[in-house]
Amino acid sequence: MVIKLNIIGNFFGSDGYSSHTRQLANALNDLDEVEVTMTTNIPQGWETVVSDKEMEMLKRDREKCDTILCIATPPSWKYYMCEGKKFIGFCINEGDVINSSWLEIMADDRVNTIFVASEHSKAGILNTEIGIKKYNNFTGWTEDEKGMNREKIKEKIKNKIHIIPHGVNIDIFKPQPIDHKEFTFVANKGFRNLEDRGGLQYLLKAYLEEFTSKDNVNLLMKLNPAYGIPNIHQFIKELKIENKDLPKLNLMVENLRYEELQKIYNMGVVFVSPTRSEAFNLGCIEAMACGLPVITTDFGGQTDFVEDLENGWLISGELKLVEHEIEYEGIQWLTPDISFLRNILRKVYESASFISYKENALKTAKEYTWQHSADKALNALKTL
């Protein structure tokens, strides 16, 4: 029996949500057991930027679908829950906890299953204190009864969660023979401000203070224009770099197609992602598929597949409350240790002995394909 699945989410665009939604939809649609219908905002001229299979997904009748997969934050789920249809919410959460109000939505009986991208995201949900009013504030209940009820609700949510990792297309992202005349660190992320979750501000400071023009080194930063294009020169001034003899720095802000990103990764020797928090970290797995070991933080979904001193290097830091964005109130992100990051950058640059890291990175990437993600999602769908 074919599962008729309506996927609701951002399909067009270059942000992480769009890339995840589009690649997972295609991988699921390629399965014999699944027929995908895509519900999304349709931009002008969309017909010119989709494949024939994608056009079919976008034109199918959603009313004929028996299952809904909504890739969005939980507050959006309630608009798509329909009587008589199974509902799955894909929660993309990055911090140490989630907004407690999301738990009430997750506990709703109309939510059959919850997908998350990593062990990190799962832990963030389960670490959140239950504060559900309709379960927690009945008059006449003792504190013990309230506590028991909170545990029941947490267990109910836990039993709904399935880890469906993001993936990489290894037919597109693969090593290319390039003669690296200089040691190039590559980063690929959005960058809006000096509090940004992606952490490129810490990479800039560490790199520009650790190296000079005498080092045969380069930092290639691919900035995702979906999040805006910042004034990097102003940011460098605000970072108060303690170095007058700056090393080479290249910026790219073009809006590249998904298939073109592999060229950016292959221009580098090592990928750097000093992220403050991630649900998965697509950049890391895409770079690894191109044979690049990864320098990243030890907080986030990337820790599911980046192993310290095996296929990359993990840097530590300090968890701090997010204070610059109200939507993350009460949530902590990591602030990477700049000294630690500087030491790793220098160590990797001066070392020529991490061939095994490259081989291990390629091996790991082959375990995290979009087909692998679709297979795991199908197994979860079959349990509904």
Is the per-residue pLDDT at 135 higher than 60? no
Q: Which of 361, 383, 376, 209 is nearest to 295 (CA)?
A: 361
Give the start-to-end residue ranges of the domains of the chain: 3-167+371-382, 183-368
Instruction: Quickly tell me which residue has 């902590």 as its tokens.
Output: 332
* pLDDT tens sequence across 260-283: 999 999 999 999 999 999 999 999
Q: Identical fold at 3-167+371-382 and 183-368?
A: yes
In angstroms, the CA 178 to CA 173 distance is 14
Q: Name the β-bridge partners of 270.
A: 185
Instruction: Please say if the pLDDT value at position 354 is more than 80.
Output: yes
DSSP secondary structure letter of residue 316: -
Indicate if the pLDDT at residue 132 is higher than 70: no
Q: What is the CATH number of domain 183-368?
A: 3.40.50.2000
Q: Which two tokens stand for residue 314?
A: 């993990």
| Position 287 confidence tier, pLDDT thresholds 50, 70, 90 | very high
Percent of the chain with pLDDT over 90: 81
Under 8 Å between Cβ of 175 and 290: yes
Distance of CA 100 to the CA centre of its chain: 21
Digit-coded pLDDT (tens) for 294-314? 999 999 999 999 999 999 999
- What is the per-residue pLDDT across 10-55, written as a single tens digit (0 to 9) for each? 999 888 899 999 999 999 999 999 999 999 999 999 999 999 999 9
Query: Is the domain covering 3-167+371-382 a CATH 3.30.70.3270 domain?
Result: no
**Has this prediction a pTM greater than 0.75?**
yes
Sign of the four-CA dihedral 324, 226, 21, 335: negative
Residue 133 has pLDDT above 80, yes or no: no
Task: Determine the Cα angle at 76 with ends 70 and 78, to 5°.
Answer: 90
d(CA 310, CA 190) in angstroms, rounded, equals: 27
DSSP assigned state of 355: H
For the cut 70, the answer to whether the pLDDT of residue 79 exceeds it is yes
CB 136 within 8 A of CB 151: no
Per-residue pLDDT at 225 exceeds 90: no
Residue 143: partners with Cβ closer than 8 Å, 6 or more residues away: none
Of the pLDDT bands very low, low, confident and very high (cuts 50, 70, 90), residue 191 is very high
Query: Binning pLDDT at 50, 70 and 90, where does residue 134 land?
Result: low
